[in-house]
Each structure stands twice: as structure tokens, then as C-alpha cells.
């Protein structure tokens, strides 16, 4: 009994002597609990809500379409290929509608808008998910030509802007949601080519869109995935395209990198992707679903342990630190 009393006295003395720390921990705990409760609230009327998703042939878009369909929402799934649209339709309910859409073609987007307008009617569009994207060509900047940048930017950035501007009238009717898929590479540029540029652009576009649309009741969220196993991170596709880039380089440029640089670079890419890429893409689609169905969606969602614990924290550190880390991941030219 005396021992227990002494222990309690000691704990009280410690808490009083560290009053500021105790208050800070208490406030942090209250804030965490409040955030958890706040984020658990969901909107209702799923059976009255339409969500339009781009890039549903595979990967995040395909899984999200099936996920939302299972929740009872009306999903309008845009695919690039007829095969992708047919495969998705075969495993979903009759509520889900597919359409063909190329986000680099304004006429295709216009036709998609007309299709969606007919489906949603006066209710408007509850959700727009800009998910369609590509990664290649990626590689050292010197290996690129202008068209290599535009191939990626046209899909990942200009396509996002074109689709969003076209669908804003429908979103304003429903006071809906825009969910844009960026990346941790929109926070930290690791590699040359258009991919990092496009994702930085998506971040900036989404921020300006969010501020401009707040007064109309539209909420904008950004998804920042780490590395996941999808077509965008396919090692086979990346390696094949890297060989194309390397093969067309002038001999003097190849010589400046050294005889073994290309093979070392490919091995480094394969090693990094093998360690970092998670097969559980539902970590990303759960963030997308929350952004669409929560009463209080977040502005940004980081998905994956590498995004939360490594890449995003690294993006806040001084440049010499991130430069050191990136240089450790890739080989050096012979010079």
C-alpha cells in the first residue's frame, strides 16, 4: 500500500515537473481522437451518386471502379481499350457503365462528357477521379527529346486539366468531389523525363482548383501514392524503353557515361522497384474511396509505407540530403 502511494506521488511529481510536455501529449491525443472520429463520418445516398473515373483498364482505376460498384455507387468507368472496358463490365454490376476515353484527345473528352451528362441528369456528377496516367519515357534527362516529355505530360497533366475543366459544370451541380492522382514524385524528383514534372503540375493544379472551387462546395483531394506494382511501374516496360533511349544516343554521349553505365542503371532500377513496389494497391484505392465518401475528406492522402515514412519526410529535408539519397540509388557515370 505504501509502495503504491509512493508510486502515485512520484508520477504526480513527474507530471507536474513536465507540465508543458504533459499538456502537449494530452492535446495531441485529443486531436488524434477528434480526427479519427471526424474522418469516420460518411455521406449518405450512395445509390443517388455518380462517380466518373479515368484509366479503368487496370491498376488503381480498375480496382476503384469495382470497389465503388460494390458499395452501391453509380460508376462511370472510362477505359482506353475496348478489351479493358469489356473485362471490367464482366465482373461488375449493371449499375457500372463503361465508355472509351482518351484523355489526350479533346474530342474524345467531349464525347465522354456528353455520355456522363446523359447518365447523371440534373443530379450532376458527385465524383471525378483523374487516375489515367503513364510513366515512360523515364530516365536520365540528357537521354530525352522534347517529344518524350510531351508524351507523358499530355496524359498526366494536360489530360487532367482538360477533363476537369470539361466536367466542372456537372460537379458544381452536385457540389461534388475531384480526386487527382499525383505521386510522391510530385514532392521529390527522383528521375528525368516527364513523369515527375507532370505530378508536380498535378499538385499545383489541384491546389489552385481547390481554393477556387471551395465557394461552390466542391472538395478537391490529392492522392500521393508511393511505389506500387501497376503498369506504370512495370520493370519490363521501363527497361525496354530505357534501351530505346540509350540506343538512339550519339556515341560521344554514350562514351561520357561509360561502357557499363546502361546495364548498371537498369539493374539499379530493377533492384529499387523490387524492394519498393507494394502489390497491395488497395492501400491507394481506400484513400480514393475515403476522398469520395467521407463527409470531411483530406486535402492530401499518402498511400504506402514508403510514402509515409520515407519519401514525403525526405522531401522536407534540405536538398543536399535528398540529393545524397537519390545518388545512392543510381549508378554514377564513369567521370
Tell me the residue ranges of DSSP E strands in the chain: 50-53, 74-79, 97-100, 127-130, 138-139, 177-181, 192-193, 219-225, 300-303
102-106: average pLDDT: 97
pLDDT value at residue 255: 93
CB 202 within 8 A of CB 182: yes
pLDDT, mean of residues 266-294: 92
Q: Among residues 10, 195, 257, 316, which one is catalytic? A: 195
Catalytic residue flag (residue 265):
no
Confidence of residue 275 (pLDDT cuts 50, 70, 90): confident
User: What does the pLDDT look like over 81-100, one tens digit per residue?
Assistant: 999 999 999 999 999 999 99
Interacting residues of 295 by C-beta distance below 8 A, sequence separation 6+: 41, 42, 43
Residue 272 — very low, low, confident or very high, per pLDDT cuts 50/70/90?
A: confident
Q: What's the predicted TM-score (pTM) here? A: 0.88
CA dist list (Å): 67 to 229, 262, 279, 304: 18, 41, 17, 19
pLDDT tier at 192 (50, 70, 90 boundaries)? very high
| Residue 193, strand partner residues | 138
Q: For residue 3, name the pLDDT band (cuts at 50, 70, 90).
A: low
Condensed to tens digits (0 to 9), the pLDDT of residues 118-132 reads 999 999 999 999 999
What per-residue confidence (pLDDT) applies to 12? 67
Cα 224 → chain centroid: 4
Which pLDDT belongs to residue 289?
Answer: 98
- pLDDT tens readout for residues 8-39: 776 666 666 677 767 777 777 776 777 768 77
Instruction: Work out the average pLDDT over 237-265.
Output: 93
Residue 1, pLDDT above cutoff 60:
no
Q: What is the pLDDT of residue 114?
A: 98
Give φ, ψ of 224 to 5 degrees.
-120, 80
Gap between the Cα atoms of 100 and 77, Å rounded: 9
Contact status, residue 32 vs residue 21, Cβ threshold 8 Å: no
Spatial contact of 208 and 178, defined as CB atoms under 8 Å apart: no
Nearest to 322 by CA among 226, 197, 183, 188: 188
3-state secondary structure of 100: strand
pLDDT band for position 273 (cuts 50, 70, 90): confident
Where on the phi/psi map is residue 135: left (φ > 0), alpha (ψ -120 to 50), or beta? alpha
Amino acid at each position: 500500500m505504501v509502495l503504491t502511494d509512493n508510486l502515485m506521488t512520484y508520477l504526480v511529481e513527474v507530471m507536474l515537473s513536465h507540465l508543458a510536455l504533459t499538456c502537449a501529449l494530452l492535446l495531441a491525443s485529443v486531436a488524434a481522437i477528434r480526427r479519427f472520429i471526424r474522418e469516420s463520418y460518411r455521406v449518405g445516398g450512395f445509390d443517388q451518386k455518380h462517380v466518373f473515373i479515368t484509366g479503368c483498364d487496370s491498376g488503381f482505376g480498375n480496382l476503384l471502379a469495382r470497389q465503388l460498384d460494390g458499395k452501391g455507387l453509380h460508376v462511370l468507368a472510362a477505359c482506353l481499350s475496348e478489351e479493358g472496358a469489356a473485362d471490367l463490365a464482366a465482373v461488375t454490376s449493371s449499375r457500372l457503365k463503361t465508355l472509351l476515353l482518351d484523355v489526350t484527345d479533346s474530342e474524345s473528352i467531349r464525347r465522354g462528357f456528353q455520355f456522363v451528362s446523359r447518365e447523371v441528369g440534373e443530379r450532376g456528377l458527385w465524383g471525378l477521379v483523374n487516375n489515367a496516367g503513364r510513366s515512360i519515357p523515364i530516365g536520365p534527362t540528357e537521354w530525352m527529346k522534347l517529344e518524350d516529355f510531351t508524351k507523358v505530360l499530355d496524359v498526366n497533366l494536360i489530360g487532367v486539366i482538360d477533363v476537369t475543366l470539361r466536367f466542372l459544370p456537372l460537379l458544381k451541380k452536385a457540389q461534388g468531389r475531384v480526386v487527382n492522382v499525383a505521386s510522391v514524385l510530385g514532392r521529390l524528383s527522383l528521375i528525368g523525363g516527364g513523369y515527375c514534372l507532370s505530378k508536380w503540375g498535378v499538385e499545383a493544379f489541384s491546389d489552385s482548383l481547390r481554393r477556387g472551387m471551395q465557394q461552390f462546395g466542391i472538395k478537391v483531394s490529392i492522392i500521393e501514392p508511393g511505389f506500387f506494382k501497376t503498369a506504370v511501374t512495370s520493370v519490363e516496360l521501363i527497361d525496354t524503353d530505357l534501351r530505346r533511349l540509350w540506343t538512339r544516343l550519339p556515341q560521344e554521349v554514350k562514351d561520357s557515361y561509360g561502357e557499363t553505365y546502361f546495364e548498371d542503371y537498369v539493374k539499379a532500377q530493377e533492384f529499387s522497384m523490387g524492394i519498393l513496389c507494394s502489390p497491395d494497391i488497395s492501400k491507394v484505392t481506400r484513400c480514393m474511396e475515403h476522398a469520395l465518401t467521407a463527409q470531411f475528406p483530406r486535402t492530401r492522402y499518402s498511400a504506402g509505407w514508403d510514402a509515409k515514412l520515407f519519401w514525403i519526410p525526405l522531401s522536407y529535408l534540405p536538398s543536399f540530403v535528398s540529393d545524397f539519397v537519390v545518388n545512392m540509388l543510381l549508378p554514377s557515370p564513369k567521370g
